[in-house]
Amino acid sequence: MPSLFPCPNTQCNYQFDADMLPAAAMVTCPLCRTRFPYRANRPIPAAPGPAVADDLRRTGPRLVHLRDVPKGGGVLTTLLWVGGFAIVLGGVVAAVTLRGRHKTETSTEVTSEAFNLRVEQFPSEWTEDLNARQPLAANILGRKRASPEAWVAVSAKDWGDRQPRPAELNEFLQGPLRAALRTPFFQPIEGEKWAGQPALAQQFAGNLNDAQVRGEAYAISHKGIGYVYYAWTADADWESLRAETAGLRERIRPAGFREKWVERQVNVVPYSPEGAGYQVEDPDGVWIRGKPSDEWGDKDKVKYVVDDLKAIDPAATMTLLARHQPKERGDALRKPIEATAVVVELPQAADPIEAAKAHVIERIKRDFAGDAPAGLQLEPMPKSPSGVALPAGGPAIARYRFQNPLDREDRGLWVVSAMTVGDKTVAVEIHVPEKDASYVEEWMVRLAGSLKAK
């Protein structure tokens, strides 16, 4: 029986007779022109004798007639076949690999079209870590560096068809920290930027999972979405890693998925007494007009009550109140913090801010019910308790501290602005206990600084 074996080309069905091939040679398939090395798996036998030759003649025609093999391209043809196959295979592999990727962002680690965000690849030592996300409820990413240990996290929130107000963005930044840290401490950082935009920035410290930590948080908003970046380490490691975490922050920036976004809601709420030629504006959406009941309720239903207003100050034309509920860990039952603003009309004065200051001192004296100690005064505060700068270019504005001479624990922060409108001096006088100033001072400064003629 002949010893048959198939052509090594799986697409070819030609059968070779091993007995008819040389013991070792390059063989070409007569059908598909595939060339391959052949070596017999048995010793080369001696030349057949006459009897063996007769047997071969009786087995029939030879399966391979070397003189009948058609002439072809030889090595060149084989190379063309192999090269073409390699090109096709490479194209298929590339198409599968690149499928679904943004063709210009091969180094992007995270892309969120919903939050219009793109994150460039982090260094390999910063790996995904669920524990970095959990304390701050970060919905974009959390990363950890192993040695020395450090963490970063990113959150994003969509405000729909409007920009987040400054107070909302600040709460978005500080709220998770206040909830996660025990004994949190905050210190504003002035003049910082993130992704080329002015950023709200805070240094923070506190106790997280029984360890003292220190870090920084940055917040910006872009096309209706607010972003917050947190970075922290053990307190002793922060200074050595601060620059590295700042570099990571610049790998995170808004993308280009919201080019057609348009702001459809106006954030600023104007307030003006009826018939007055001036107004103040609330860019934070936190102030309500009038004197509310014990229950906050619906702000829109709070009424402006003339009798209550005049009881506060005979010169008052409008009163506003803002309330903040602290949310530190273990402090859910703390009473809300309230800041009160009164808009007054005073006789025209050469120096509006000094006239407003004198009027505030008279208001404080009335609170002592005729028993006011001598020498009551307002002390100028050039440095803000919460790092908020007084605005320029608007009304005259100042920040004062009042210290009760009868009670060293009774200290109040006052933000006062004033300007001449017609034949009157109009002033905005806002106060809050100094111990609570860091929560609401930013609201106070923005409201007082918004005073303008209509």
pTM exceeding 0.85: no
Structure tokens at 192: 């910082």
> Do the Cβ atoms of 244 and 137 come closer than 8 Å?
no
**Which segments of 367-442 are extended strands (E)?**
379-380, 396-403, 411-421, 424-433
> Do 216 and 283 sit in the same domain of this protein?
no
Cβ burial, residue 376 (10 Å; 0-12/13-18/19+): middle
* Domain C-terminal end among 78, 98, 118: 98
User: Is 320 domain-assigned?
Assistant: yes
Q: Are residues 434 and 334 in the same domain?
A: yes
Amino acid at 445: V
Cβ-based neighbour number of residue 344 at 10 Å = 23
Last-in-domain residue among 220, 254, 288: 254
Co-location of 300 and 448 in the same domain:
yes
Considering the domain boundaries, does residue 335 fall inside one? yes
Q: What is the pLDDT of residue 140?
A: 95
Please identify, among 197, 220, 254, the residue that sits at the C-terminal boundary of a domain: 254
Residues 212 and 244 in one domain: yes
* Distance from C-alpha of 21 to C-alpha of 8, rounded to nearest angstrom: 15
User: Which residue from 278, 315, 267, 288 is spatially nearest to 395, judged by alpha carbons?
Assistant: 278
pLDDT at 373: 85
In a shared domain, residues 202 and 75: no
Residue 383's CATH number: 3.40.1000.10
Per-residue pLDDT of the chain (454 residues; tens, 9 = 90+): 667 778 888 778 778 777 777 777 787 887 777 887 877 764 444 444 454 445 444 444 444 444 344 444 555 566 666 666 667 676 665 555 555 444 333 356 788 999 999 999 999 999 999 889 999 999 999 999 999 999 999 999 999 988 888 878 988 999 999 899 988 889 889 889 999 999 999 999 999 988 999 999 999 999 999 999 999 999 999 999 999 999 999 999 999 999 999 887 667 889 999 899 999 999 888 898 875 444 445 444 444 444 567 778 899 999 998 988 776 555 555 678 889 999 999 999 999 999 999 999 999 998 887 788 888 899 999 888 887 889 999 999 999 999 999 888 899 999 999 999 999 999 999 999 999 998 899 899 999 999 999 9
Pair (70, 144) in one structural domain: no
Q: Is residue 324 part of a domain?
A: yes
Residue 446 forms part of a structural domain: yes
Centroid of chain to Cα 126: 17
Please check whether residues 49 and 81 belong to one and the same domain: yes
So what's the pLDDT on residue 103?
39
Question: Do 202 and 312 belong together in one domain?
Answer: no
296 and 404 fall within a common domain: yes
**Taking all residues of the chain, what is their mean pLDDT, rounded to a whole number?**
82
Beta bridge partners of 399: 415
* Domains in the chain, number: 3
Interval 335-354: pLDDT, tens: 788 899 999 999 999 999 99
Q: Do the domain assignments include residue 16?
A: yes
| Spacing of C-alpha 71 from chain mean position | 70
Alpha-carbon span 117 to 416, nearest angstrom: 40
Separation CA 290–CA 184 (nearest Å): 33
Statement to judge: residues 245 and 386 lie in one domain: no
Residue 16 domain boundaries: 4-98
Q: Are residues 197 and 236 in the same domain?
A: yes
367 CB neighbour count, 10 Å cutoff: 9
Please report whether residue 264 resides in a domain. no
| pLDDT at 91 (0 to 100) | 67
Based on the fold, state whether residues 151 and 192 are members of the same structural domain: yes
Q: For residue 214, is it within any domain?
A: yes
Instruction: Assess if residue 212 is contained within a domain.
Output: yes
Of 269, 314, 309, 316, give the one whose Cα is nearest residue 288: 269
